[in-house]
Amino acid sequence: MQPFPSQPLDHDSLHEECGVFGVIGVPEAANFVALGLHALQHRGQEAGGIVAYDPERGFNGAHRFGYVRDNFTKASLMETLPGALAIGHVRYSTAGSKAPVIRDVQPFFGELAMGGCAIAHNGNITNAAALRRELIERGSIFASGSDTECIIHLMARSIQTSIPERMKDALRRVEGAFSVIAMTRTKLIGVRDPLGVRPLVLGTLHDGAHVLASETCALDIIGAEFLREIEPGEMVVISGGEVASVRPFAPAQSRFCIFEHVYFSRPDSIIGGRSVYETRRQIGVELAREAPVEADMVCPVPDSGTPAAIGYSQESGIPYAMGIIRNQYMGRTFIEPTEQIRDMGVRLKLNVNRALVKGKRVVLVDDSVVRGTTSRKIKDMIIAAGAAEVHFRIASPPTAWPCFYGVDTPHRDKLLAAQMSPEEMRDWIGVDSLSFISLDGLYRAVGEAQGRDGACPQYCDACFSGDYPIPPSDQIANGGFDPEGPTTLSDHTAP
């Protein structure tokens, strides 16, 4: 029996909700931001926005639905965004949300007592509903449904005399995961939450220009030099070619999102001094050690399973082969006009290399299993192409708990691993074997030789362990999360 309804391909994977990018000190800064957002498109494909400042024309912004390449490469639009200071944002909204509206597209702009401020945010504010109610009761008028707008309103109500100080005030009221970039008329500002759940990096261009971005791959595209990561709980204020650093929050142990290593970040990015590609290859090595199998070929589910499949092949000695080919021109916005085409599902995006897999025992390596519907369809395609056996190897532990920190995760009752044991999942997907990397194995792959420290975990791994480092206050308040239930709040929660 199929426990979940058929879903479009995009609904059977996890999605980051956004990426941020900002630059100060270069002519036509908005063009640099557009390039940076293009490099971060994997973090959000629904919409994008750019705000720029020019002393003569003030603040100007553009917000559009769709890909960066389809909007922010048009000269007629980019000419409306002059100036040497700009920030941008790409967005992926959560599943089940209302139809997208342009007013929810960041960056947001507000005119404060000491001047204008634009802000963009990657992550999720876990007490946003409570803050929103409080602010509305005190007279604030919201223009969007985004949690990020709470930060603007909190800044407006602060009694501090500068925008960076008002931002400190606002963010001290905020709970959750946030990497924020903001701009005033003269400053570019970047902040990470105390636990550093979401990424943010600092780079430099020529002549004192500086860049803030979600990932290092966005620095590469504009030829910027990577300087360092913004530290958990750090705020940097960049102006006049100088970078000032302050610590607005109480110290806390870092809990960076481990799924950034597994899936979200691009493989050509650097996280924590480690190549994302090399980490994913090492995940495959660990997986081969933990879950060996006799087979004829190792095949990735492209593209996210590719580095792990290479590692699995190298460690196991089983030949690597491209048994599944991805249609590179099948984007999220593909129009599905009829039920017949919609039912083709995975075939619109992936096709089996029949000549390669026929008669073979195939190890399929994928990054995760969410609802399981896509895994089942891929297995059917491989069997239909004549494979003798199909063995799934998954480059992450079972995803059994939702994320409240900025990842589009289905409700727990829609997560296959929350409803079934690995053996039951194997039978439901219909494969000869199914194995996930262990949590300790994943930690070893990201450089923690002793595995996961259960007393004080080094990463946020709540989607695998149910150990939430930051209380999901809004979820608790509305009954959507039971801290005494099967999920737990970490003893090392954020202050």
pLDDT, tens only, 93-108:
654 345 679 999 999 9
3-class secondary-structure state, position 246: strand
Tell me the average pLDDT across 448-454. 92
pLDDT confidence of 333, banded at 50, 70, 90? very low
Entry pTM: 0.90
What pLDDT is recorded for position 344?
A: 61
pLDDT, tens only, 155-207:
999 999 999 999 999 999 999 999 999 999 999 999 999 999 999 999 999 88
Question: Alpha helix locations (H) across 276-411?
Answer: 276-290, 306-316, 339-344, 354-357, 373-384
CA distance 435 to 20: 35
Residue 337 has pLDDT above 80, yes or no: no
Domains assigned to the chain: 11-254 (3.60.20.10), 281-449 (3.40.50.2020)
What pLDDT is recorded for position 98?
A: 56
Mean pLDDT taken over the chain: 90
In whole angstroms, how far apart are CA 468 and each of 31, 472, 487? 39, 8, 8
User: Which H or E run contains 221?
Assistant: none
CA distance 197 to 150: 19
pLDDT, tens only, 382-411:
999 999 999 999 999 999 999 999 887 768
Q: What are the structure tokens assigned to 331, written together?
A: 């984007």
In whole angstroms, how far apart are CA 415 and each of 374, 412, 440? 13, 5, 22
Q: Who contacts 192 (Cβ-Cβ below 8 Å, separation ≥6)?
A: 178, 179, 180, 198, 200, 230, 231, 232, 233, 234
What pLDDT is recorded for position 10?
A: 45
| Residues belonging to the active site | 18
CB count in 10 Å sphere of residue 244: 12
CA distance 271 to 145: 31
Tell me which residue has tokens 């750019």: 50
Tell me the average pLDDT across 133-137. 96
- 92 vs 189, more confident: 189
Q: What percent of the chain has pLDDT over 70?
A: 88
CB count in 10 Å sphere of residue 312: 31
CB count in 10 Å sphere of residue 331: 13
Strand-pair partners of 168: none
What pLDDT is recorded for position 328?
A: 72
